[in-house]
Chain A
Amino acid sequence: MTDAAEPIPPELFVPDPGQPVQSLSTAEPQEFWADVWRRFRGNRAAMASLSVLILLALLAIFAPILSHYSIAQTDLFNTYKRPSFVHFFGTDGLGRDVWTQVWMGARISLTVGLTAALIQMLIGVVIGCISGLYGGRVDMFLMRTVDIMIAIPFLIWVSLVVIVLKPGIVSIILAFALTQWTEIARLVRGEVLKLQNTEFVIASQSMGAGSWRLIVRHFFPNILPVVIVAVTFQITNAIFGEAFLSYIGLGIQEPLTSWGKLVAAGVREMRGNPYMLIFPAIAISLTMLALQLIGDGLRDATDPKLRQ
């Protein structure tokens, strides 16, 4: 079978060495983080969650400033008012504006969550690196410690520390930071061990790179994705834990407020004034949900198996 209808001019049958062949990949080397962002962008749930979170953060920052009311401001003539244009979320038993309270509470809850998670990250990364890099007895000791710490549920740990340090915002943050770094330490150690055995590390060592340079240039970019995902989930735990402690009275103390405290009050008032529960409940649930979905999205976006 020869070719189709049109006759082909014979001049075309001459050698045409033409363009040099590109021996290497023609695809542009995508910067790692640009690639991660691209994949994250494609995840609709994660992007929606990110927008929600940004919105909540903005409200937490600006809503109390822009509000006519302060959180301490009581108005005994206007107690237990339903939501209205004057009070978006209504008022509580002392006439305080619930809207303002929810966003002030947001500041506390979010700050606690973020700070605790960041400190945990620092501790966890340092310990994970030490454990992975030094190995041997140090590693064994640290990992056994982690095993034992993990055996105790986090709420118990946190409660214990808070009792000893007296309830308050600082003790809550410390309680979380000092006891929940274990997950991150384990993950970091795992990555460090994996990286230690890669050829490029051994190669750079043989080329004389000192261990600090090694750590900074090679380990961090590889550890960071895993750590960021873990930190996102730790923020959720911290927010939940703070809410729980405040709910049972061992968390944030007066005059500060937090979502946990508001929910506790709301549960008490649920019968007559459900709005007092609904708004803080929605706020905290949305935040937890958004963080979880972002964490999932980040995990998928940085998963090496899914990269093209």
Chain B
Amino acid sequence: MSERADKILDVSSLEISFSTHEGEIHAVRDVSFSVNRGEVLAIVGESGSGKSVTAQALMGLTPIPPGIVKGGKVLLDGVDILASDEKALTKIRGAKVSMIFQDPMTSLNPSMRIGAQIREILHQHNTMSRAESYARALELLHLVGIPEPERRMRQYPHQFSGGMRQRIVIAIAVANNPELLLADEPTTALDVTIQSQIFRLIRDIQAKFSTAMVLITHDLGLVAGVADRIIVMYGGRIVEEGPTDQIYYDPQHPYTVGLLNSVPRLADDSDAPLRTIEGLPPVLKDIPDGCVFAERCPNVMKICRQREPGIYHPRPGNRAACWLHHPDAREPYETFLKGRSV
């Protein structure tokens, strides 16, 4: 099952920085992961964790000044994205890999009819007649649940609500049956009532076409029903990765525990204060020695402030970058396990 042919995406040692007038910001540091065909991987983290930068890099969309790719490989179906030239990338983007952007209010061209915006991506990667693209666009609108598609095709984005616009964005993203779909916080900018609708749509489409998907979000509660595996990012690094069930029921990193605890649940006492992780995410300008989460970690040990943790495999299919899994940390680890209020 671990043949290379099964991996649609293989990221190794990705390192991306941004040069600003305040100095170099190390946004992504030594990130490696892979995604199999048809699999759904969720990347979860706070703002500033590096998840969006990683997602952009997967399509070669990192803005090169001020961004600098300092190292690593991104193999999309065997093709190294970071080493390809623009010409090659324009053939891949929109066809083999597609992105669903975060804010539907700004990701559609306000002066272009939505039908044209859908047909644009069709004509870009297929030879079809205008009649064929018209028909296909109608099909796609129907697929994402836009009523009266013939009439709506000729309308402009401002004539649609936020939820409907995001459906159009999804239609565009899946138009050419990509093998990999990147969804960058696809529901964050929407009304709470619409969020679950759109989310379900994405999930259904993914299941229907068995598209591999990388779902970026800050909301760990959201991905339970759809992700096969979850990656937790913090401070530009992956701190934990594992199958969904394991992450939810048996998390192996204090940050993951913090994230899980901070999701308010209906069963919680409504008078109790919301649980948060104390402190703020780091700025990543001057990388501290030691674990980047040490400052906010409730299970921090002396070693954590001095050296970066290695990567351990405390459970099958899981990796966690935490000193708690070192053989010499048995007591603190027990404390950690007891402290998880899962």
Contacts and interface: CB of A to CB of B under 8 A. Distances in A.
Q: Do chains A and B touch in the complex (CB under 8 A)?
A: yes
Give the size range of B's interface with the partner: 20 to 34
Contacts of B242: none
A285 B302 CA distance: 66
B328 A2 contact: no
A11 B329 CA distance: 9
A197 interface: no
A132 B26 CA distance: 46
A8 B303 contact: yes
B50 interface: no
Contacts of B303: 8, 12-13
B304 interface: yes
Interface string B110-136: 000000000000000000000000000
B329 A13 contact: yes
Interface string A63-81: 0000000000000000000
A27 to B, nearest CB: 9
A41 to B, nearest CB: 12
Contacts of B295: 19, 21
Contact of B326 (A4, A8, A21): A8
Contacts of A42: 21
Nearest to B277: A21
Nearest to B311: A1
Contacts of A16: 300-302, 304-305
A11 B21 CA distance: 41
B152 to A, nearest CB: 33
A230 to B, nearest CB: 28
A12 B306 contact: yes
A21 B296 CA distance: 7
Interface in A1-43: 1-4, 8, 10-19, 21-23, 25-26, 42
B332 interface: yes
B278 to A, nearest CB: 5
A3 B328 contact: no
B309 interface: yes
Interface in B16-52: 21-22
Interface string A175-188: 00000000000000
Nearest to B22: A308
Interface in B302-335: 302-307, 309-312, 323, 326, 328-329, 331-332, 335
Contact of B278 (A2, A18, A21, A26): A21
A161 B305 CA distance: 74
A15 B278 contact: no
Contacts of B299: 15
Contacts of B326: 2-3, 8, 13
B305 to A, nearest CB: 7
B329 A3 contact: no
A268 to B, nearest CB: 51
B305 A14 contact: no
A15 B311 contact: no
B262 to A, nearest CB: 14
Contacts of A12: 301-303, 306, 328
B280 interface: yes
B65 interface: no
B335 A22 contact: no
Contact of B307 (A8, A18, A22, A26): A8
B225 interface: no
Contacts of A1: 310-312
A3 B321 CA distance: 10
A186 B297 CA distance: 52
Interface in B80-101: none
Contact of B312 (A2, A4, A8, A19): A2
Which 6 pairs between the two chains have the least Cβ-Cβ distance? Answer: A3-B310, A12-B303, A21-B279, A13-B329, A10-B328, A13-B328
30 contacts: A1-B310, A1-B311, A1-B312, A2-B310, A3-B307, A3-B309, A8-B307, A10-B328, A12-B301, A12-B302, A12-B303, A12-B328, A13-B302, A13-B323, A13-B326, A13-B328, A14-B332, A16-B300, A16-B301, A16-B302, A16-B304, A17-B300, A18-B305, A21-B279, A21-B295, A21-B296, A23-B278, A25-B280, A42-B21, A308-B22
Interface of A: 1-4, 8, 10-19, 21-23, 25-26, 42, 308
